[in-house]
Amino acid sequence: MLRAVKIAVIGSGYVGLVAGTCFADSGTTVVCVDRDERKLRALEKGEVPFYEPRLADLVKKNWPDRLTFTNDLPTAIRGAKAVFIAVGTPPQEDGSADLSHVLGVAREVAESAEHDLVLVTKSTVPVGTNERVRQVAQKHTKHKVAVVSNPEFLKEGDAVNDFMKPDRIVVGTEDDDAFEVMSRLYAPFNRQQNRMIRMSPQSAEIVKYASNALLATKISFMNEIARICEVSGGDVEDVRIGMGSDKRIGMHFLYAGLGFGGSCFPKDLRALVNTGNEFGISMRVSEAATHANLIPVKAMIANMEKDLGGLDGKVIALWGLAFKPRTDDVREAPALRLITELKQRGATVRATDPQAMETALEKMKAGGTADVVTLCEKPYQACEGADALVIATEWNEYRNPDLEQLAALLRKKWIFDGRNVLTPAAVAEAGLNYRGIGRPVVLAR
């Protein structure tokens, strides 16, 4: 009978904290490591420093019995069967992934290792990184370090569920013992049917980028179709259902809107393009998807200028700052790009978001747009004195608003639905003009 396994997870962000907490909840002893003192102080009190549904409860449930936090990597990895690297891989100027954190952690782990271990790359890294991590590890320890690529597919906003009930667990390794360790760790999440897919490290690394690039491309493609709908009188919502009913296409990721954001799609597309360039291959589709993603915000702004008779001096209410619902993540959020464009045209913004006001304020201060934005706790408060409303994130609470109240508040009587969540006829019925993405404009009755 094997004893309970101990692991360490380096990097306690969205991925590391979710993975560490879920492993702990399945009985594994987990030490999460981070170097961000502020984050650690919160975690050491059992508090989660960012918003992710269900996560805070799970942390509280498992901390401090099976789940602990520290900045002391050497102690954390002592006795650990596996060490997961879940640090950031942010984009560099040329779009390539910055691997300095991953390789730095690999070196620190190797230098501190007092026994053989499995080193698992969970961060999203370009093909070839596994080999680089292996070389770094080999150079700095005499112990056996088997390097495994185990990309993470969780979605912010539903991360715990995704981790607990994964569609697939991709494990890239040539090492049978390391695969055994991974199989055991993931067994609690792999009970209904075997979802573990073993492959080479290179393939595993490519799976992650290819998946994100294809999903992002679907969104960009639909946004392009939305433009065709807009100029020709089609309705992209009908087109979406017509297309998605074909089983080969499916309903997922066919929603037109203001474009994709977040820490993954934009960054991973650019990194994939960069990897292609390094191998002398033009990644034309991924490149096009990246460029196309900038168009919806610009198109929305052009429409707003037309509908509102210019934006100079206008006050725009903005519902939603997060790049998608159920997260406080505003990295590359279309709402923030929209604010930049509005500022350039002389408009001011009254913005609200159920979770992302703090993170957005930080980003807006850094980006020089905070001076034109008033943050409002409540959605209707954001509409007070506003000319028009833009919905930029499809939070549930924005889907069925009190339209009569909005009609009374909005001076120019326009709603710009950047996520196609409202029913145009109902908006018009309430005395408001409606413009979605790729849908016919419906004027107030």
Contact residues: ligand NAD, CB under 6 A: 10-16, 33-36, 39, 86-89, 101, 104-105, 123-124, 152, 154, 156, 263-264
Neighbours of 334 (CB within 10 A): 25
What is the number of the residue whose Cβ is closest to ligand NAD?
13
Task: State which residue, 205 or 230, has the beta carbon closest to ligand NAD.
Answer: 205
Q: How far is the CB of 388 from ligand NAD (least distance, A)?
A: 32
Structure tokens at 367: 């980006």
Q: How far is the CB of 109 from ligand NAD (least distance, A)?
A: 10
Catalytic residue among 22, 264, 376, 383: 264
Q: How far is the CB of 186 from ligand NAD (least distance, A)?
A: 16
Q: How far is the CB of 80 from ligand NAD (least distance, A)?
A: 15
Task: State which residue, 99 or 283, has the beta carbon closest to ligand NAD.
Answer: 99
Tell me if 413 sits within 8 A of 308, measured CB to CB. no
Task: State which residue, 35 or 54, has the beta carbon closest to ligand NAD.
Answer: 35
Task: State which residue, 215 or 426, has the beta carbon closest to ligand NAD.
Answer: 215
Task: State which residue, 153 or 380, has the beta carbon closest to ligand NAD.
Answer: 153
Phi (first) and psi of residue 220, to 5 degrees = -60, -40
Would you call 264 a catalytic residue per the annotation? Answer: yes
For the residues of 14-50, what is the DSSP string, one character each? HHHHHHHHHHHHTT-EEEEE-S-HHHHHHHHTT--SS
Query: Distance between CA atoms of 131 and 86, rounded to whole angstroms?
Result: 17
Q: How far is the CB of 197 from ligand NAD (least distance, A)?
A: 17
Q: Which amino acid is at 353?
A: D
- Extended beta strands in 58-129, E state: 67-70, 82-85, 117-121
Residues near 345 by Cβ (< 8 Å), separated by ≥ 6?
Answer: 301, 305, 310, 311, 312
Structure tokens at 250: 């499916």
Residues near 356 by Cβ (< 8 Å), separated by ≥ 6?
Answer: 51, 321, 322, 327, 328, 329, 330, 333, 393
Catalytic annotation, residues: 264
